[in-house]
Structure 1
Amino acid sequence: MDSNVEDNDEYEIKKIIVDDGQAPMRIDKFLTNRLLQVTRSKVQNGIRDGLVTVNEDLVKSNYKIHPGDEITVMIPINAEYDGVVEPEDIPLEIYYEDSYLMVVNKPAGMVVHPGTGNYTGTLVNAIVFHLQNTDLPVLPGNDPDRPGLVHRIDKDTSGLLVIAKKENTLKHLAEQFHDHTVERKYQAIVWGEMGKEEGTINARIGRNPKNRTMYQTYPEEAIDSSKDAVTHFRVLNNYYYVSLIECVLETGRTHQIRVHMNAVGNTIFNDQKYGGDRILKGTMFSKYKQFVDNCFKMCPRQALHARSLGFIHPETGKKMFFEAPLPEDMASILDKWRNYVKDRIEK
């Protein structure tokens, strides 16, 4: 069980009924004893990532099981992964590199690190190959298959990531992320108009209790099932039925921009998980439907891009700032929407 579950839905569902004579025991220890060849850390990661429920409720690793409890475990079908990252000769778009760190532009469709259903072909596999003679550090509490990683972006989100080569670099970059001093801006194409030119979405985020590969917003008092999340947005352009926006994150929750935009009625264009892969704004004329379908085909993923990244270099103290232009798929559909708006104005 690992943490990239949102990108793969192929699981074996295992149900365990706790015996009447079972003494109280932490669920992570219980499952480690019951599931062959699965380490306790993997079990804990699976519990953390919502792959384990007790009586249909999410629990924490320290939950004490009771006789009669029904435990449901989602086990990846492709569970033979041994946690060893294999170097793979995969091209990297490197924006910057020195002895301490590197900044890369991840393409859409590439998973950041090995995990459920994605044990090869990841960004980490490519980095390990590129830095074959480098013993990359791992953040405390992370699995060894996440070397050098300070942060992540979703598989189908493109954009900039910083990779640490040395332990001290990793530590200082992690502190900057924790203190929210890292500058990160995203660009997204969303359905509809935002209603105002700029604003802030402050809504807690947690897992969807009915679909544990999805997330949703929660009320402020739901502190046990969610975490605080703040997204600032600014409208860059409106195209009648879609808008190009810029987002700045105060927090870095999983799927944060995707969930917040969905919550306010501006789902990210072609975000299949959150319903953006159907017409949410506009007409139902066949010509318009064909136009949107063509846009979906041109950008067959959520239209979200990690555009810029700024941080203080842990070794030199210099301010580093990088920008990656919109990838071709997002730029192409924006061109189509610009032409669509132009045609409407001229008519």
Structure 2
Amino acid sequence: MISPEPPYLPRIVEECQDYLIVDKPPFLLSHPTRKKKGPSILEWLQNLNPAIPFKLIHRLDRETSGLLVVAKNSAAAAYFGRQMEKRLIQKGYLAISWGELKADYLKIEAPLGYLGGAKGNEIVIRQGIVPHGTQSVTEIYPLGHGGGYSLLWVRPLTGKLHQIRVHLSTIRHPVVGDKLYGPNPSFFLEFAKRGWTEEMEKVLLLPRHALHAAYLSFFWKGEKKQFYSPLPEDLKKFLGLVQNLSKLQLNNPILANDPWGKILKELA
């Protein structure tokens, strides 16, 4: 049994007296819960400075890498909370999906919620499209495709649990490596019991889902703050092995004259 460990340490991108931005590696919890215990970003920060009451403003799934904003005091936490409510904190993700998505733009609007006792669902936390769920909106800008895969720029306009992964699975382009919303959801339970196995490697290809929180912006004291995190080495390596994706330029005609186009250049 092989249980993957974070391939690199968390990185503080920027820090001031009120907040900091952390670049989280995969296989590290954002915040421990009753059901999920283990090393976390919050624990790592508290070990760095036990005197600061760090508070995560949002979270990333354990296997998702990328940017998180963390408040260092209650006033900053309340300020960021108001921005979250008004959807003033913007996020952008890079994702590698199965299937060649041959489009310039897709907008997915679908109500999401827990599947609970739905037929065939054994996993309590699994999300899906449910009639009375929370309306969720995701914008997808394909950047290129080849060899049976696509590289996507994804903007979640809402913040539902597992939103990007569920929406991509719904259109039959699940995130590569996704144990829960990929080709075989039973891998999620098996992984929890046995860790990473050869069978999973053959089917899932990657030990974690290929989703990276690459961009984060918000307003602070009247100024727009923007942060970037390039694609991590494990996902770069995977792209390099895929025919027609190894030399892909981060590009999309719709984004050419859009502020998000400039963001992609920062990530190239």
The residue number in structure 1 matching 2:228 is: 323
Deviations 1:84-129 (A, max 9, x none): xxxxxx9531000010000000100001111134333111101111
Q: What is the aligned counterpart of 1:206 among 103, 113, 117?
A: 113
The question of 1:275 aligning with 2:218 is answered no
Q: Distance in 2 between matches of 1:132 and 1:198?
A: 45
Q: Is the 8 A contact 1:100 1:164 kept in 2?
A: yes
Secondary structure, counterpart of 2:242 in structure 1: helix
State percent identity of aligned pairs.
29
User: What TM-score, normalized to structure 2?
Assistant: 0.76
Secondary structure, counterpart of 1:132 in structure 2: coil
Q: Is the 8 A contact 2:144 2:245 kept in 1?
A: no
Q: Distance in 2 between matches of 1:113 and 1:152?
A: 8
Are the structure 2 counterparts of residues 334 and 277 from structure 1 closer, same or farther at C-alpha, using a change threshold of 3 Å? Answer: farther
**Runs of 4+ more than 4 Å apart:** 292-297, 339-342
Query: Aligned letter for 2:30?
Result: V
Q: Is the 8 A contact 1:269 1:277 kept in 2?
A: no
Are the structure 2 counterparts of residues 200 and 335 from structure 1 closer, same or farther at C-alpha, using a change threshold of 3 Å? Answer: same
Greater relative contact order: 1 or 2 (C-alpha under 8 angstroms, separation 6 or more)? 2
Q: Distance in 2 between matches of 1:92 and 1:193?
A: 32
Deviations 1:52-80 (A, max 9, x none): xxxxxxxxxxxxxxxxxxxxxxxxxxxxx
What are the residue-to-residue correspondences of 1:151-230 with 2, within 5 Å? 151-209=58-116, 210=121, 211-218=123-130, 222-223=131-132, 226-230=133-137
How far is 1:189 from its partner? 0.4
Query: Aligned letter for 2:144?
Result: N
Secondary structure, counterpart of 2:234 in structure 1: helix
The question of 1:115 aligning with 2:20 is answered no
Deviations 1:21-73 (A, max 9, x none): xxxxxxxxxxxxxxxxxxxxxxxxxxxxxxxxxxxxxxxxxxxxxxxxxxxxx
Equivalent pairs counted in the alignment come to: 222
RMSD of Structure 2 on Structure 1 (CA): 2.4
Instruction: List runs of 5+ in structure 2 lacking aligned partners.
Output: 1-7, 186-199, 248-268
The question of 1:99 aligning with 2:6 is answered no
Secondary structure, counterpart of 1:228 in structure 2: strand
Secondary structure, counterpart of 2:239 in structure 1: helix
How far is 1:193 from its partner? 2.3
How far is 1:277 from its partner? 6.6
Secondary structure, counterpart of 2:55 in structure 1: coil
Deviations 1:162-218 (A, max 9, x none): 000111111111111111111200010011122421120000101112332211012
From the CA coordinates, give the structure whose radius of gyration is larger. 1
Q: Is the 8 A contact 1:199 1:232 kept in 2?
A: yes
Q: Is the 8 A contact 2:66 2:213 kept in 1?
A: yes
How far is 1:276 from its partner? 4.3
